[in-house]
Structure 1
C-alpha cells in the first residue's frame, strides 16, 4: 500500500517558519495503531488524517506519542491541502472532529479556522506551576490546558520550563502569554506530556487565549504572535461562543509513504 502525504507550514507565508504539519487525505480509515506509527515516523508535532464521510470531512490528529482532541495548525494545513492540492471548489470546508464541528473558510487571502471558545478558570496553586515553568506568574488559569500570564513579552521569550516537572502536571500542556510589543498578545506553548516539548505555532491554544485577551483588552479583533524559534502570526476574532483564527499556509513537501 502506498499513501500520498503533504507537508505544510501553517501560519506562515514562507517555508521553514510557522508550524509544520503532515496531511494524509485517505479514501478509508486506517487502523489507529498504524496512524499512530505513521505520526511517530514523521515525528512532527501533528500528523492529520482526513476522510470524506456522508456528513463532511472527518479529521483526526496525532502527535508522535498520542491522538489529541483538537489541533488548529494541522486543521489549517489540511484545509490548505484540500483547497490547493485537491482543488476543493467550495470557499468553506466543514470538519467533524472529537471536539465537535469545525470549519475553515477562505477569506481575504487567508484561511480562517472556526473553533469553540474555551473559558479558563483560576487555578489556586501557583507554586507548583511556577516551579515547573521557572517563572513567577501574574495569573494562572486552567481548562484542559494551563494558561499562565506573565509580566512581559520578554518574560515569555525567556521562559525555560523544566519539561519533566511540567509533564507531571494534570494538564495537556502549558501556555505562557503576555501583552505584545507589536501584537496584542504573544504566547508560547509547552506540552511534554503529549510528546511536544514546544509547539512552534498552536491554533488550538488560541481558543483560550482569544477570549482571555478580548476581555482584558476590551476588543474582539486581535493580532497575536507565537514566540517560538520558528514563530508565527495569527489573526484573531472573538464571535460569541466561537473564535476565528486566521493565517497563511505554505506547501513545502509532497511524497509517498511505502507500506508494502
Structure 2
C-alpha cells in the first residue's frame, strides 16, 4: 500500500533581534489550506519552540494561527513578526504591508520600513488590581503595582536590576488564573524592561513577547507621559523593541533573522 507523504515548508526565525541566537525563535509554516487542529498542535509540539505560526493565503490577506507546544493562543507578536519576515523575504509578498486575520484577535497588520517590521495590534485593556497573596507568593521581593490585562498580569518592580535578577516561583505562577505574568520596571538605558513567564501554557520564560507589549505600552506610556517608547526584554537571549501608542492600537517594531528553512514530512 502506498503511503501518502505531505510536505510542508518550515522556517525558523529569530524575532526582535538583528542577529541569530538571540531574540525569540518562532517556526513558521505556510499552508495551502487548514489542516486538522490535532495535526497543527502535534507539529508545534514537535518543534518545541515557544510558538509555531501557521498561515493560509485568503484573497488580499493571510489567516494566521499560533500554537505553543501545548495549546493554541489568542495572539503572538514575535511569531507574527516572524511570519511577516518569511512573507517579505522568502514567500514573494511584494507590497510593504501585510494584512493578517486571526479568528481570535481580529485584523492585524505588519508594515516594512528598511530593516524594521512594525506590528499593529490592539491595545490591551488594563486596570490596577490589588496585590493578592497568590501574586505576592510568586516573588521574593514585593511588587510596587499589579495590573491586570485581558490575559496576563503585569507586575511592576522598583528597578531594572530587580527584573534581571528575578527568580520567581514558577509553581505558584502556574496556579494564577492568567495566560502568564509580565514583570517590568523602568529601564536604565531604555524606557522600560520586562520579562514574561507563562508556565500555564507550557512556556517557563518567553525570550521576547510581542503580545505582552500591548499591555506594557499603555502602562508605561501613561506612567512616563510619552507615546513612543523603547524597550528591552531582559531574558537570557534578550530582545529589542520600539513601541508607539496610536489611538487604541500599539505599533511594535523590531528586526528578524532567518535561522533555518526546510521541509516537514507528514504521513
Shorter-chain TM-score: what band?
A: over 0.9
Task: Note if 1:134 corresponds to 2:140.
Answer: yes
- Residues 131 and 145 of structure 2 are in contact (CA less than 8 Å); yes or no, is this contact kept in structure 1? no
Task: Note if 1:122 corresponds to 2:128.
Answer: yes
Q: Which runs of 5+ in 2 are unaligned?
A: 1-5
Task: Note if 1:213 corresponds to 2:220.
Answer: yes
Q: Which residue of 2 aligns with 1:23?
A: 28
Q: Which residue of 1 aligns with 2:110?
A: 104
Q: Which residue of 2 aligns with 1:252?
A: 259
Deviation, 1:55, is 5.5
Please give the alpha-carbon distance, in whole angstroms, between the structure 2 residues aligned to 1:235 and 1:87: 26
Please give the alpha-carbon distance, in whole angstroms, between the structure 2 residues aligned to 1:258 and 1:109: 32
> Which of the residues 194, 201, 219 maps onto 1:194?
201
Return structure 1 stretches of 4+ with deviation > 4 angstroms. Answer: none
Supply the RMSD in Å over aligned alpha carbons: 0.9
- Residues 149 and 177 of structure 1 are in contact (CA less than 8 Å); yes or no, is this contact kept in structure 2? yes
SS state at 1:215 partner: helix
Please give the alpha-carbon distance, in whole angstroms, between the structure 1 residues aligned to 2:67 and 2:183: 23
Deviation, 1:62, is 0.1
Please give the alpha-carbon distance, in whole angstroms, between the structure 1 residues aligned to 2:123 and 2:132: 24
SS state at 1:38 partner: helix
Q: Which runs of 5+ in 1 are unaligned?
A: none
Q: Deviations over 1:90-121 (max 9, x none)?
A: 10000001111000000242000000011311
Please give the alpha-carbon distance, in whole angstroms, between the structure 1 residues aligned to 2:115 and 2:12: 20
Task: Note if 1:238 corresponds to 2:224.
Answer: no
Deviation, 1:133, is 2.7
> Which of the residues 30, 51, 55 maps onto 2:56?
51
Q: Deviations over 1:158-217 (max 9, x none)?
A: 111111111110011000000000100000000000000000000000001001101010
- Residues 126 and 140 of structure 1 are in contact (CA less than 8 Å); yes or no, is this contact kept in structure 2? no
Please give the alpha-carbon distance, in whole angstroms, between the structure 1 residues aligned to 2:46 and 2:30: 17
Q: Which residue of 2 aligns with 1:4?
A: 9
SS state at 1:189 partner: strand
Task: Note if 1:91 corresponds to 2:110.
Answer: no
- Residues 120 and 147 of structure 1 are in contact (CA less than 8 Å); yes or no, is this contact kept in structure 2? no
Normalising by structure 1, we get a TM-score of 0.98
> Which of the residues 218, 222, 231 maps onto 1:224?
231
Please give the alpha-carbon distance, in whole angstroms, between the structure 1 residues aligned to 2:182 and 2:251: 19
Please give the alpha-carbon distance, in whole angstroms, between the structure 2 residues aligned to 1:133 and 1:87: 47
Normalising by structure 2, we get a TM-score of 0.96
- Would you say how many aligned residue pairs link Structure 1 and Structure 2? 260
Q: Deviations over 1:100-157 (max 9, x none)?
A: 1000000242000000011311222432212113331000011210000000000001
Q: What aligned pairs does 1:56-71 form with structure 2 within 5 A after superposition?
A: 56-71=61-76
Please give the alpha-carbon distance, in whole angstroms, between the structure 1 residues aligned to 2:107 and 2:216: 20
